[in-house]
C-alpha cells in the first residue's frame, strides 16, 4: 500500500499520520481574522435547495464569488501584505496569477499604499487583466501558464528586491484563506462536510486547518479539475509532484505543483480529494447560474461539481465553497453551451438524407413536431462517407433534456433518417 494514500475512481484517500507544518496554527488564522475585519465581506452562506435534494440533507453555498475583488484571494493577500515592515513596503511587491490572486494582491496593495507588479500568463482573461490594472497594479505578461509566470515573478523579485507574494505557498497566505473556515463554522455550526475548490492548495489548507483544529469531526474535501489535478499523484507520492501537462478551462485552479506549506497541512487534515471533469464543471456552473442566480468561474464551481458528480457520498449538512466569480463573458458563453450539451439540452446532430428537394424541410418538420428548437443548420455534399445521392445535414438542437433528446433521435431513426453523429 502506498505510504500516503490510495487512489481509486475520482478521489484520493489521504492517510492521517503525515506531518504538518509546525509554523502555522489556529492562532494565526484567528489573528488573520482580526486583521481582515472591515477589509473582507463576511458573506452569508446561501441555502441551495436544488443541491440539498441531491445530497439528501441541508446544503449551503459559501459565496466567495461575491467577495471583494471577486474571490477569496483578498483574504490571504491582505493578511500577508499588512504584516510587511516599512522597508519591505517601500520596495513594493510582485506576484504571478491568472487573475484572482492578481486582483487580491492589487487591491490589498492599493489599500495599504504599496506598489504591486503582477505577472500574468498570456492566456489570462481580459476582464481579470483590466480589473488588476484598475486596482493600480503594473501588469506584465509572461509565458503560457501560471507556472511560467511564477518563475518570472520570482526572477523579478531577485533582481529588484520586491517582495514576492505567493498565491498559496506562504503561512500568512494560508492563514488568511483559513478565515473562511472560521466563518463557515460560525454560520453553519452543525456542518458535517465542507468541499473546497483546490489549485495550489492555499484555500483548502487554510480551511482544513481551521476546521480540523476546532471541529475534527467535520470532513473537509478538496475538489480539483481533472486536467490540472496535481494533488492526487502528490499525495500518493508523499511529496509535491509537478504535472507534466495541464489542460482545463478552470484557469483559477490550474496549478501544476502543490505548494509546500499547504501540502503538509492537507496531508494531515484533508480526508480526500475529488477530481472532476470539464463536463461536470460546466454542469455545475450552469446549475449555479440557473438555480442560485450566481455567476461563478469554472474553478470556483469545482466544489459543486464534485458534489453533483457523486452526491450520495457527502454527509449533510454540507457547505460547498464557491471560490471565485471572475469569469470572462466569452468563456461563460462557451461554458453555458458546454453545460447545456453535457446536460442533454443542447446537441449537434448529423443526419444523412436523400439529396432531393424537400428533404431538409421534411427533417425540420419532424424535429419541430417533437418540440425541439433548431438553432443552426449546415449542409455538406462532399464527404467520402456520403452516397452519391445523399447530403449531410448538421443541426444544432435545443431539447428539454437527455430523455427528450433520445426520444427525438429514436423517432428520426424510425422515420428512416440515418443519424451519423450526435454530440
Which residue ranges make up each domain of the chain?
Answer: 5-70+171-328, 73-164, 344-422
**5-70+171-328 and 73-164: same fold?**
yes
What pLDDT band is residue 9 in, cutting at 50, 70 and 90?
very low
* pLDDT over threshold 70, residue 6: no
Per-residue pLDDT tens over the stretch 79-111 = 999 999 999 999 999 999 978 999 999 999 999
CA 416 to each of CA 218, 353, 409: distance values in angstroms, whole numbers, following the listed order: 57, 9, 11
Work out the pLDDT band at 336, boundaries 50, 70, 90: confident
Q: Please give the CATH number for the structural domain made up of 73-164.
A: 3.40.50.1100
Task: Estimate to the nearest angstrom the gap between the alpha carbon of 160 and the chain centroid.
Answer: 33
Name the pLDDT band for 21 (thresholds 50, 70, 90): low
Confidence of residue 11 (pLDDT cuts 50, 70, 90): low
Q: What pLDDT, on the 0 to 100 scale, is given for residue 18?
A: 38
* Secondary structure class of 366 (helix, strand, coil): helix
pLDDT digits (tens, 9 = 90+) for 25-54: 999 999 999 999 999 999 989 999 999 999
Summarize pLDDT for 133-163 with one digit per residue, the tens: 999 999 999 998 777 888 999 999 999 999 9
Q: Is the Cβ–Cβ distance between 21 and 261 less than 8 Å?
A: yes
CATH of 344-422, one of 3.30.70.260, 3.30.300.30, 3.40.190.10, 3.30.360.10: 3.30.70.260
How is residue 86 written as a grid cell? 516599512
Q: Which CATH number is correct for 5-70+171-328, 2.60.40.10, 3.40.50.150, 3.40.50.1100, 3.30.70.20?
A: 3.40.50.1100
* Nearest Cα to Cα of residue 73 among 173, 165, 148: 173
Confidence band for 120, pLDDT divided at 50, 70 and 90 = very high
Among residues of the chain, what percentage have pLDDT more than 70? Answer: 94
> Which has the higher per-residue pLDDT, 418 or 84?
84
Long-range contacts of the stretch 66-70 (C-beta < 8 A, 24+): 66/41, 66/294, 66/325, 67/40, 67/41, 67/43, 68/39, 68/40, 68/41, 68/107, 69/100, 69/103, 69/104, 69/106, 69/107, 69/131, 69/135, 70/100, 70/103, 70/131, 70/324, 70/325, 70/326
The answer, yes or no, to whether residue 242 has pLDDT greater than 50, is: yes
CA-CA distance, 225 to 255, in Å (whole number)? 10
Q: Is the pLDDT of residue 64 over 80?
A: yes
Amino acid at each position: 500500500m502506498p505510504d500516503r494514500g490510495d487512489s481509486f475512481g475520482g478521489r484520493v484517500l489521504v492517510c492521517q499520520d503525515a506531518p504538518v507544518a509546525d509554523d502555522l496554527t489556529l492562532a494565526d488564522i484567528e489573528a488573520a481574522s482580526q486583521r481582515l475585519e472591515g477589509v473582507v465581506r463576511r458573506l452569508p452562506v446561501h441555502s441551495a435547495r436544488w443541491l440539498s435534494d441531491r445530497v439528501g440533507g441541508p446544503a449551503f453555498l459559501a459565496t466567495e464569488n461575491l467577495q471583494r475583488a471577486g474571490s477569496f484571494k483578498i483574504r490571504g493577500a491582505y493578511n500577508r501584505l499588512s504584516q510587511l515592515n516599512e522597508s519591505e513596503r517601500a520596495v513594493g511587491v510582485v506576484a504571478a496569477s491568472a487573475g484572482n490572486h492578481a486582483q487580491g494582491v492589487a487591491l490589498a496593495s492599493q489599500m495599504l499604499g504599496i506598489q504591486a507588479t503582477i505577472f500574468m500568463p498570456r492566456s489570462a482573461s481580459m476582464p481579470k487583466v483590466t480589473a488588476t490594472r484598475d486596482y493600480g497594479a503594473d501588469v506584465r505578461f509572461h509565458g503560457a501558464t501560471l507556472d511560467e509566470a511564477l518563475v518570472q515573478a520570482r526572477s523579478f523579485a531577485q533582481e529588484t528586491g520586491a517582495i514576492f507574494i505567493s498565491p498559496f505557498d506562504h503561512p500568512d497566505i494560508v492563514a488568511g484563506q483559513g478565515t473562511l473556515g472560521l466563518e463557515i463554522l460560525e454560520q453553519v455550526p452543525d456542518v458535517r462536510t465542507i468541499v473546497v475548490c483546490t489549485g495550489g492548495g492555499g484555500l483548502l489548507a487554510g480551511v482544513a486547518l481551521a476546521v480540523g483544529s476546532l471541529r475534527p469531526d467535520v470532513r473537509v474535501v478538496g475538489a480539483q479539475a481533472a486536467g490540472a489535478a496535481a494533488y492526487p499523484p502528490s499525495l500518493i507520492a508523499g511529496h509535491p509532484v509537478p504535472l507534466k501537462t495541464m489542460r482545463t478551462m478552470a484557469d483559477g485552479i490550474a496549478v501544476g505543483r502543490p505548494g509546500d506549506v499547504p501540502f503538509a497541512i492537507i496531508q494531515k487534515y484533508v480526508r480526500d480529494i475529488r477530481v472532476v471533469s470539464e463536463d461536470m464543471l460546466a454542469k455545475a456552473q450552469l446549475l449555479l447560474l440557473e438555480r442560485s442566480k450566481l455567476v461563478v468561474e469554472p474553478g470556483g464551481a469545482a466544489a459543486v461539481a464534485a458534489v453533483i458528480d457523486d452526491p450520495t457520498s457527502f454527509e449533510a449538512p454540507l457547505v460547498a465553497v464557491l471560490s471565485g466569480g471572475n469569469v470572462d463573458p466569452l468563456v461563460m458563453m462557451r461554458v453555458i453551451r458546454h453545460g447545456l450539451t453535457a446536460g442533454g439540452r443542447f446537441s449537434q446532430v448529423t443526419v444523412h438524407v436523400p439529396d432531393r428537394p424537400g428533404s431538409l424541410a421534411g427533417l425540420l418538420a419532424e424535429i419541430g413536431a417533437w418540440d425541439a428548437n433548431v438553432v443552426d443548420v449546415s449542409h455538406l455534399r462532399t464527404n467520402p462517407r456520403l452516397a452519391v445521392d445523399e447530403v449531410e445535414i448538421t443541426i444544432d438542437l435545443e431539447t428539454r433534456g437527455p430523455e427528450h433528446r433520445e426520444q427525438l433521435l429514436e423517432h428520426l431513426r424510425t422515420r428512416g433518417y440515418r443519424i451519423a453523429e450526435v454530440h
